[in-house]
Structure 1
Amino acid sequence: MEYKELVEKVIQENSTVLNLVKKEEIEVLLSEIEKAKTIQLYAMGRMQLSVRAFAMRLKHMGFDTYVVYDTTTPAIGKGDLLLDICAVTNVELNVIKCAKEAGARIGVLTAHTENEHGKLADFSVFVPGQIFGGEKEVKSIQPMASLLEQSMFLFVDIIVMMLIERNNIDISKMHKRHTNLEGIPTAFA
Protein backbone atom coordinates (compact mmCIF):
# COMPACT_ATOMS: atom_id res chain seq x y z
CA MET A 1 0.00 0.00 0.00
CA GLU A 2 1.06 3.56 -0.64
CA TYR A 3 1.52 6.09 2.16
CA LYS A 4 -1.79 7.91 1.61
CA GLU A 5 -3.72 4.63 1.51
CA LEU A 6 -2.13 3.63 4.81
CA VAL A 7 -3.00 7.02 6.34
CA GLU A 8 -6.66 6.61 5.38
CA LYS A 9 -6.80 3.03 6.63
CA VAL A 10 -5.12 3.79 10.00
CA ILE A 11 -7.36 6.82 10.59
CA GLN A 12 -10.45 4.78 9.70
CA GLU A 13 -9.43 1.97 12.06
CA ASN A 14 -8.99 4.43 14.96
CA SER A 15 -12.30 6.10 14.15
CA THR A 16 -14.06 2.74 14.19
CA VAL A 17 -12.59 1.83 17.60
CA LEU A 18 -13.35 5.21 19.19
CA ASN A 19 -16.91 5.28 17.89
CA LEU A 20 -17.61 1.88 19.49
CA VAL A 21 -16.87 3.11 23.04
CA LYS A 22 -20.14 3.37 24.96
CA LYS A 23 -21.25 6.72 26.33
CA GLU A 24 -22.42 5.13 29.62
CA GLU A 25 -18.96 3.66 30.23
CA ILE A 26 -17.34 7.03 29.51
CA GLU A 27 -19.67 8.69 32.05
CA VAL A 28 -18.65 6.20 34.74
CA LEU A 29 -14.96 6.78 33.96
CA LEU A 30 -15.36 10.55 34.19
CA SER A 31 -17.25 10.29 37.48
CA GLU A 32 -14.69 7.90 39.01
CA ILE A 33 -11.82 10.22 38.06
CA GLU A 34 -13.61 13.25 39.50
CA LYS A 35 -14.28 11.63 42.88
CA ALA A 36 -10.94 9.81 43.37
CA LYS A 37 -8.61 10.94 46.13
CA THR A 38 -5.63 9.93 43.99
CA ILE A 39 -5.50 8.36 40.55
CA GLN A 40 -2.88 5.75 39.72
CA LEU A 41 -2.39 4.63 36.14
CA TYR A 42 -0.81 1.43 34.90
CA ALA A 43 0.09 -0.11 31.57
CA MET A 44 2.97 -1.98 30.05
CA GLY A 45 5.08 -1.58 26.92
CA ARG A 46 3.96 0.90 24.28
CA MET A 47 0.61 1.23 26.04
CA GLN A 48 2.45 3.03 28.84
CA LEU A 49 3.00 5.97 26.47
CA SER A 50 -0.73 6.76 26.65
CA VAL A 51 -0.67 6.25 30.44
CA ARG A 52 2.13 8.78 30.89
CA ALA A 53 0.42 11.29 28.59
CA PHE A 54 -2.86 10.85 30.48
CA ALA A 55 -1.15 11.20 33.88
CA MET A 56 0.52 14.40 32.73
CA ARG A 57 -2.74 16.01 31.59
CA LEU A 58 -4.59 14.89 34.73
CA LYS A 59 -1.82 16.53 36.79
CA HIS A 60 -2.10 19.69 34.67
CA MET A 61 -5.82 19.78 35.47
CA GLY A 62 -5.10 19.50 39.19
CA PHE A 63 -5.92 15.82 39.78
CA ASP A 64 -3.54 14.03 42.16
CA THR A 65 -2.19 11.51 39.66
CA TYR A 66 0.66 8.99 39.55
CA VAL A 67 2.05 6.24 37.34
CA VAL A 68 2.34 2.89 39.14
CA TYR A 69 5.95 1.93 40.00
CA ASP A 70 7.34 5.46 39.56
CA THR A 71 9.54 6.31 42.54
CA THR A 72 7.19 9.08 43.73
CA THR A 73 3.99 7.02 43.57
CA PRO A 74 2.41 6.68 47.03
CA ALA A 75 0.63 3.69 48.52
CA ILE A 76 -2.83 3.11 47.08
CA GLY A 77 -5.88 2.61 49.28
CA LYS A 78 -9.48 3.44 50.06
CA GLY A 79 -10.74 6.42 48.06
CA ASP A 80 -8.05 5.98 45.41
CA LEU A 81 -8.52 4.84 41.81
CA LEU A 82 -6.35 2.48 39.79
CA LEU A 83 -6.85 2.71 36.03
CA ASP A 84 -5.27 -0.16 34.12
CA ILE A 85 -4.97 0.49 30.42
CA CYS A 86 -5.02 -2.68 28.30
CA ALA A 87 -5.47 -5.14 31.22
CA VAL A 88 -4.51 -8.45 29.64
CA THR A 89 -1.21 -9.57 31.22
CA ASN A 90 -0.45 -11.48 34.41
CA VAL A 91 1.62 -8.53 35.64
CA GLU A 92 -1.40 -6.24 35.26
CA LEU A 93 -3.58 -8.81 36.99
CA ASN A 94 -1.22 -8.76 39.98
CA VAL A 95 -1.32 -4.93 40.12
CA ILE A 96 -5.13 -5.05 40.03
CA LYS A 97 -5.27 -7.66 42.80
CA CYS A 98 -2.89 -5.68 45.02
CA ALA A 99 -4.85 -2.45 44.51
CA LYS A 100 -8.13 -4.25 45.17
CA GLU A 101 -6.73 -5.75 48.38
CA ALA A 102 -5.63 -2.25 49.47
CA GLY A 103 -9.21 -1.01 49.06
CA ALA A 104 -8.83 1.07 45.90
CA ARG A 105 -11.44 1.27 43.16
CA ILE A 106 -10.36 -0.41 39.93
CA GLY A 107 -11.12 0.60 36.36
CA VAL A 108 -9.88 -1.12 33.24
CA LEU A 109 -9.78 0.38 29.77
CA THR A 110 -9.41 -2.63 27.52
CA ALA A 111 -10.55 -4.67 24.55
CA HIS A 112 -11.11 -7.61 26.91
CA THR A 113 -13.54 -6.69 29.67
CA GLU A 114 -14.56 -10.36 29.89
CA ASN A 115 -11.22 -11.54 31.33
CA GLU A 116 -10.27 -11.89 35.01
CA HIS A 117 -8.96 -8.32 35.04
CA GLY A 118 -12.36 -7.02 33.96
CA LYS A 119 -14.19 -9.26 36.43
CA LEU A 120 -12.11 -7.89 39.33
CA ALA A 121 -12.61 -4.29 38.23
CA ASP A 122 -15.29 -2.05 39.68
CA PHE A 123 -15.93 -0.72 36.17
CA SER A 124 -14.57 -1.12 32.69
CA VAL A 125 -14.46 0.78 29.43
CA PHE A 126 -14.52 -1.41 26.33
CA VAL A 127 -12.08 0.04 23.78
CA PRO A 128 -12.06 -2.67 21.10
CA GLY A 129 -8.77 -2.05 19.29
CA GLN A 130 -6.82 -5.07 18.09
CA ILE A 131 -4.50 -6.70 20.62
CA PHE A 132 -4.46 -10.36 19.67
CA GLY A 133 -6.85 -10.39 16.71
CA GLY A 134 -9.70 -11.68 18.87
CA GLU A 135 -13.32 -11.86 17.78
CA LYS A 136 -14.44 -8.73 19.67
CA GLU A 137 -11.48 -6.63 18.54
CA VAL A 138 -11.57 -4.24 15.59
CA LYS A 139 -9.25 -5.90 13.07
CA SER A 140 -6.24 -3.95 11.91
CA ILE A 141 -3.78 -3.99 9.04
CA GLN A 142 -1.23 -2.83 11.62
CA PRO A 143 0.98 -5.24 13.52
CA MET A 144 0.27 -6.53 16.99
CA ALA A 145 -1.53 -4.08 19.33
CA SER A 146 -0.68 -0.89 17.41
CA LEU A 147 -4.34 -0.04 16.83
CA LEU A 148 -5.29 -0.29 20.51
CA GLU A 149 -2.21 1.70 21.52
CA GLN A 150 -3.10 4.52 19.11
CA SER A 151 -6.79 4.46 19.96
CA MET A 152 -6.06 4.54 23.67
CA PHE A 153 -3.81 7.59 23.28
CA LEU A 154 -6.59 9.39 21.39
CA PHE A 155 -9.26 8.14 23.81
CA VAL A 156 -7.55 9.48 26.94
CA ASP A 157 -6.93 12.84 25.23
CA ILE A 158 -10.65 13.03 24.46
CA ILE A 159 -11.39 12.16 28.12
CA VAL A 160 -9.11 15.04 29.13
CA MET A 161 -11.11 17.45 26.96
CA MET A 162 -14.35 16.19 28.49
CA LEU A 163 -12.97 16.65 32.02
CA ILE A 164 -11.85 20.19 31.17
CA GLU A 165 -15.36 21.07 30.00
CA ARG A 166 -17.25 19.26 32.79
CA ASN A 167 -15.11 20.81 35.51
CA ASN A 168 -14.72 24.28 33.98
CA ILE A 169 -10.96 23.92 34.13
CA ASP A 170 -9.06 27.05 33.21
CA ILE A 171 -6.47 26.08 30.59
CA SER A 172 -4.22 28.97 31.65
CA LYS A 173 -4.00 27.28 35.07
CA MET A 174 -3.07 24.04 33.32
CA HIS A 175 -0.20 25.89 31.65
CA LYS A 176 0.96 27.13 35.06
CA ARG A 177 1.06 23.53 36.38
CA HIS A 178 3.21 22.43 33.43
CA THR A 179 6.91 22.12 34.15
CA ASN A 180 8.84 25.33 33.71
CA LEU A 181 12.19 23.55 33.49
CA GLU A 182 12.05 22.97 29.73
CA GLY A 183 13.51 26.38 28.96
CA ILE A 184 10.78 27.47 26.56
CA PRO A 185 11.49 31.04 25.44
CA THR A 186 8.96 33.49 26.92
CA ALA A 187 7.95 34.56 23.40
CA PHE A 188 6.30 31.13 23.02
CA ALA A 189 5.07 30.66 26.59
Structure 2
Amino acid sequence: MKTVESILSEIQGVITQISDESLQSIAVKLADANRIFVIGEGRSGFMGKSFAMRLMHLGATVYAVGETITPSIAEGDLLVAVSGSGKTKSVVSTAEKASELNCHVVAVTTALESPLALHSTNVLHIPAATKYRVEGERQSIQPLGSLFDQSVHIVFDSICLLYSNLKKHGHNEAFLLHSNLE
Protein backbone atom coordinates (compact mmCIF):
# COMPACT_ATOMS: atom_id res chain seq x y z
CA MET A 1 0.00 0.00 0.00
CA LYS A 2 1.27 3.47 -0.84
CA THR A 3 2.02 5.92 1.96
CA VAL A 4 -0.84 8.26 1.04
CA GLU A 5 -3.26 5.33 0.85
CA SER A 6 -2.14 4.18 4.30
CA ILE A 7 -2.76 7.63 5.77
CA LEU A 8 -6.16 7.88 4.08
CA SER A 9 -7.05 4.44 5.43
CA GLU A 10 -6.15 5.55 8.96
CA ILE A 11 -8.25 8.71 8.63
CA GLN A 12 -11.18 6.73 7.26
CA GLY A 13 -10.92 4.33 10.21
CA VAL A 14 -11.36 7.28 12.57
CA ILE A 15 -14.01 9.21 10.64
CA THR A 16 -16.33 6.24 10.16
CA GLN A 17 -16.65 5.97 13.95
CA ILE A 18 -18.14 9.46 14.30
CA SER A 19 -21.90 9.69 13.91
CA ASP A 20 -23.61 12.18 11.63
CA GLU A 21 -26.02 12.88 14.50
CA SER A 22 -23.22 14.14 16.74
CA LEU A 23 -21.93 16.43 13.98
CA GLN A 24 -25.46 17.72 13.27
CA SER A 25 -25.99 18.39 16.97
CA ILE A 26 -22.85 20.51 17.11
CA ALA A 27 -23.81 22.38 13.93
CA VAL A 28 -27.16 23.26 15.54
CA LYS A 29 -25.43 24.49 18.70
CA LEU A 30 -23.09 26.64 16.60
CA ALA A 31 -26.04 28.09 14.70
CA ASP A 32 -27.80 28.94 17.98
CA ALA A 33 -24.77 30.54 19.68
CA ASN A 34 -24.42 34.29 20.08
CA ARG A 35 -20.73 34.09 19.23
CA ILE A 36 -18.30 31.23 18.68
CA PHE A 37 -14.82 31.00 20.19
CA VAL A 38 -12.22 28.39 19.23
CA ILE A 39 -9.10 27.33 21.14
CA GLY A 40 -6.36 24.79 20.63
CA GLU A 41 -2.56 24.68 20.84
CA GLY A 42 -0.01 23.65 18.21
CA ARG A 43 -1.39 21.82 15.18
CA SER A 44 -4.71 21.34 16.95
CA GLY A 45 -4.83 25.13 17.26
CA PHE A 46 -4.24 25.45 13.53
CA MET A 47 -7.16 23.06 12.92
CA GLY A 48 -9.27 25.24 15.22
CA LYS A 49 -8.25 28.42 13.42
CA SER A 50 -9.03 26.80 10.07
CA PHE A 51 -12.48 25.93 11.44
CA ALA A 52 -12.99 29.49 12.71
CA MET A 53 -12.00 30.90 9.32
CA ARG A 54 -14.49 28.73 7.47
CA LEU A 55 -17.24 29.58 9.97
CA MET A 56 -16.49 33.26 9.31
CA HIS A 57 -16.91 32.61 5.59
CA LEU A 58 -20.28 31.09 6.45
CA GLY A 59 -21.41 34.24 8.25
CA ALA A 60 -20.70 33.30 11.88
CA THR A 61 -19.35 35.71 14.45
CA VAL A 62 -16.29 33.71 15.45
CA TYR A 63 -13.00 34.34 17.24
CA ALA A 64 -9.76 32.48 17.88
CA VAL A 65 -8.91 32.65 21.58
CA GLY A 66 -5.57 34.35 22.20
CA GLU A 67 -5.63 36.72 19.24
CA THR A 68 -5.23 40.38 20.14
CA ILE A 69 -8.64 41.38 18.77
CA THR A 70 -10.60 38.58 20.48
CA PRO A 71 -13.18 39.96 22.95
CA SER A 72 -14.10 38.38 26.26
CA ILE A 73 -16.34 35.35 26.13
CA ALA A 74 -19.75 35.78 27.78
CA GLU A 75 -22.90 33.87 28.65
CA GLY A 76 -24.67 32.68 25.51
CA ASP A 77 -21.41 32.17 23.63
CA LEU A 78 -20.00 28.80 22.60
CA LEU A 79 -16.42 27.58 22.98
CA VAL A 80 -14.95 24.85 20.78
CA ALA A 81 -11.91 23.49 22.63
CA VAL A 82 -9.52 21.18 20.75
CA SER A 83 -7.02 18.94 22.55
CA GLY A 84 -6.18 15.37 21.60
CA SER A 85 -5.16 14.45 25.12
CA GLY A 86 -7.75 16.65 26.76
CA LYS A 87 -5.02 17.84 29.13
CA THR A 88 -3.56 20.91 27.38
CA LYS A 89 -3.46 23.43 30.24
CA SER A 90 -4.45 26.58 28.33
CA VAL A 91 -7.32 24.76 26.60
CA VAL A 92 -8.60 23.18 29.82
CA SER A 93 -8.41 26.44 31.80
CA THR A 94 -10.27 28.32 29.04
CA ALA A 95 -12.97 25.62 28.97
CA GLU A 96 -13.26 25.82 32.75
CA LYS A 97 -13.65 29.62 32.65
CA ALA A 98 -16.22 29.43 29.82
CA SER A 99 -18.17 26.83 31.77
CA GLU A 100 -18.20 29.09 34.84
CA LEU A 101 -19.68 31.84 32.62
CA ASN A 102 -22.49 29.49 31.50
CA CYS A 103 -21.15 29.16 27.99
CA HIS A 104 -21.70 26.02 25.99
CA VAL A 105 -18.36 24.17 25.71
CA VAL A 106 -17.70 21.60 22.99
CA ALA A 107 -14.60 19.50 23.66
CA VAL A 108 -12.93 17.89 20.65
CA THR A 109 -10.68 15.17 22.04
CA THR A 110 -9.70 11.51 22.08
CA ALA A 111 -10.03 11.37 25.86
CA LEU A 112 -13.59 11.00 27.15
CA GLU A 113 -12.50 11.12 30.82
CA SER A 114 -10.04 14.00 30.48
CA PRO A 115 -10.07 17.31 32.37
CA LEU A 116 -11.26 19.00 29.16
CA ALA A 117 -14.19 16.61 28.78
CA LEU A 118 -15.17 17.16 32.41
CA HIS A 119 -15.48 20.94 31.83
CA SER A 120 -17.55 20.54 28.66
CA THR A 121 -21.24 20.34 27.91
CA ASN A 122 -20.59 18.25 24.78
CA VAL A 123 -17.69 15.98 23.88
CA LEU A 124 -16.93 15.21 20.26
CA HIS A 125 -14.90 12.04 20.52
CA ILE A 126 -12.24 11.66 17.82
CA PRO A 127 -10.94 8.07 18.25
CA ALA A 128 -7.47 8.73 16.84
CA ALA A 129 -3.87 8.31 17.94
CA THR A 130 -2.31 11.20 19.83
CA LYS A 131 1.30 12.04 20.59
CA TYR A 132 1.07 10.16 23.89
CA ARG A 133 0.23 6.73 22.39
CA VAL A 134 -1.79 5.62 25.40
CA GLU A 135 -3.04 2.07 25.82
CA GLY A 136 -6.20 1.33 23.87
CA GLU A 137 -5.61 4.20 21.46
CA ARG A 138 -5.86 3.61 17.71
CA GLN A 139 -2.50 2.77 16.14
CA SER A 140 -0.93 5.04 13.53
CA ILE A 141 2.10 4.92 11.27
CA GLN A 142 2.27 8.72 11.52
CA PRO A 143 4.22 10.68 14.11
CA LEU A 144 2.75 12.47 17.09
CA GLY A 145 -0.88 13.62 16.73
CA SER A 146 -1.04 13.77 12.94
CA LEU A 147 -3.96 11.33 12.72
CA PHE A 148 -5.94 13.28 15.33
CA ASP A 149 -5.33 16.62 13.60
CA GLN A 150 -6.14 15.30 10.12
CA SER A 151 -9.34 13.73 11.38
CA VAL A 152 -10.33 16.90 13.24
CA HIS A 153 -9.87 18.94 10.06
CA ILE A 154 -12.24 16.69 8.11
CA VAL A 155 -14.75 16.59 10.96
CA PHE A 156 -14.69 20.39 11.20
CA ASP A 157 -15.27 20.73 7.45
CA SER A 158 -18.20 18.32 7.79
CA ILE A 159 -19.67 20.42 10.60
CA CYS A 160 -19.22 23.54 8.45
CA LEU A 161 -21.20 21.93 5.63
CA LEU A 162 -24.02 21.08 8.04
CA TYR A 163 -23.85 24.59 9.52
CA SER A 164 -24.02 26.18 6.05
CA ASN A 165 -27.12 24.13 5.26
CA LEU A 166 -28.78 25.26 8.51
CA LYS A 167 -27.94 28.90 7.81
CA LYS A 168 -28.74 28.59 4.09
CA HIS A 169 -25.33 30.14 3.44
CA GLY A 170 -23.75 28.39 0.47
CA HIS A 171 -20.75 28.77 -1.77
CA ASN A 172 -21.75 32.10 -3.32
CA GLU A 173 -22.39 33.77 0.04
CA ALA A 174 -19.17 32.32 1.46
CA PHE A 175 -17.19 33.54 -1.53
CA LEU A 176 -18.36 37.10 -0.85
CA LEU A 177 -16.84 36.89 2.65
CA HIS A 178 -13.61 35.34 1.37
CA SER A 179 -10.65 37.73 1.26
CA ASN A 180 -10.37 39.69 -1.95
CA LEU A 181 -7.03 41.28 -1.01
CA GLU A 182 -5.03 38.77 -3.05
Please report how far the alpha carbon of residue 136 of structure 1 lies from its aligned counterpart in structure 2 after TM superposition.
4.4
**Is 1:138 paired with 2:138?**
yes
Describe the shift of the 1:99–1:13 C-alpha distance in structure 2 as closer, same or farther (beyond 3 A): same
- Superposition map of 1:73-92 within 5 A: 73-86=70-83, 87-92=86-91
- Structure 1 portions without partners, runs of 5+: 183-189
2:144 partner SS: coil
**Is 1:100 paired with 2:99?**
yes
Letter in 2 for 1:89: T
Please report how far the alpha carbon of residue 91 of structure 1 lies from its aligned counterpart in structure 2 after TM superposition.
1.9
CA distance in 2, matches of 1:30, 1:158: 9
The answer as to whether partners of 1:16 and 1:138 remain within 8 angstroms in 2 is no
Q: Which residue of 1 aligns with 2:22?
A: 25
Q: Which residue of 2 aligns with 1:12?
A: 9
CA distance in 2, matches of 1:153, 1:99: 23
TM-score, scaled to structure 1: 0.89
Please report how far the alpha carbon of residue 37 of structure 1 lies from its aligned counterpart in structure 2 after TM superposition.
0.3
1:71 partner SS: coil
Q: Which residue of 2 aligns with 1:154?
A: 154
CA distance in 2, matches of 1:19, 1:78: 34
Aligned-residue sequence identity (percent) comes to 27
The answer as to whether partners of 1:78 and 1:104 remain within 8 angstroms in 2 is yes
CA distance in 2, matches of 1:96, 1:108: 8
Please report how far the alpha carbon of residue 154 of structure 1 lies from its aligned counterpart in structure 2 after TM superposition.
1.3
Give the number of the structure whose alpha-carbon radius of gyration is greater. Answer: 1
Q: Which residue of 2 aligns with 1:163?
A: 163
The ranges of structure 1 where at least 4 consecutive aligned residues each deviate by more than 6 angstroms after the TM superposition are: none
Q: Which residue of 1 aligns with 2:121?
A: 122
CA distance in 2, matches of 1:120, 1:46: 22
The answer as to whether partners of 1:40 and 1:83 remain within 8 angstroms in 2 is yes
- Structure 2 portions without partners, runs of 5+: none
Q: Which residue of 2 aligns with 1:185?
A: none
Q: Which residue of 2 aligns with 1:180?
A: 180
The answer as to whether partners of 1:21 and 1:126 remain within 8 angstroms in 2 is yes
The answer as to whether partners of 2:34 and 2:76 remain within 8 angstroms in 1 is yes
2:50 partner SS: helix
Describe the shift of the 1:5–1:166 C-alpha distance in structure 2 as closer, same or farther (beyond 3 A): same
CA distance in 2, matches of 1:107, 1:135: 25
TM-score, scaled to structure 2: 0.92
Task: Supply the RMSD in Å over aligned alpha carbons.
Answer: 1.4
**Is 1:49 paired with 2:49?**
no
Q: Which residue of 2 aligns with 1:40?
A: 37
The answer as to whether partners of 2:24 and 2:159 remain within 8 angstroms in 1 is no
CA distance in 2, matches of 1:128, 1:176: 36
The answer as to whether partners of 2:27 and 2:160 remain within 8 angstroms in 1 is no
